[in-house]
Structure 1
């Protein structure tokens, strides 16, 4: 599967603008902690994931904001952002 980055950016921008229209400039998340598991296990359907850990959305968000300010974003920040986007989709199904 090949994803066009411009199309991905357009989709994310459109969704975030709709969320902003629906919820305003700030969105309060109800959840903070989440279960996480090793990304190596994510695509291996031959067995159930066993390497669980706990993640924290507030920590993810603070790290992303700091990395943006210092221009030190890394690929793993996409994973942090994906956790936040997932909770936004769960908590805001109506927009």
Structure 2
């Protein structure tokens, strides 16, 4: 039987805040996105490593993800699934980690 890890959301929040504080101290308060588009695997294959990824045809945009996050302040987004907006934060966090971590 597979034992899946448990993530404490408070711990995750503190860790991500610490990471972003570090990025800001090393890089400053802003980061230019030198890339925009990236391959986006759908969750049906991303979390099933038993499947081969034959054709990756989904493309995401860092710029679009940033705009979606900026628009989260609208009431309709706050009331209708803000947790789903994490899918837009994830590619930005990865990009920042890769760019600043070089």
Superposed CA RMSD = 1.4
Which has the higher relative contact order, 1 or 2, with Cα contacts under 8 A spaced 6 or more apart? 1
Runs of 4 or more, structure 1, over 3 Å off, are none
Name the TM-score, length of structure 1 as normaliser.
0.88
Equivalent residue pairs, number: 93
Residue 60 (structure 1) aligned with residue 65 (structure 2): yes
Mapped partners of 1:11, 1:47: distance in 2: 32
Aligned equivalent of 2:31, options 10, 21, 27: 27
Mapped partners of 1:7, 1:46: distance in 2: 30
Name the TM-score, length of structure 2 as normaliser.
0.83
Q: Rg larger in 1 or in 2?
A: 2
Which sections of structure 2, spanning at least 5 residues, go unmatched? none
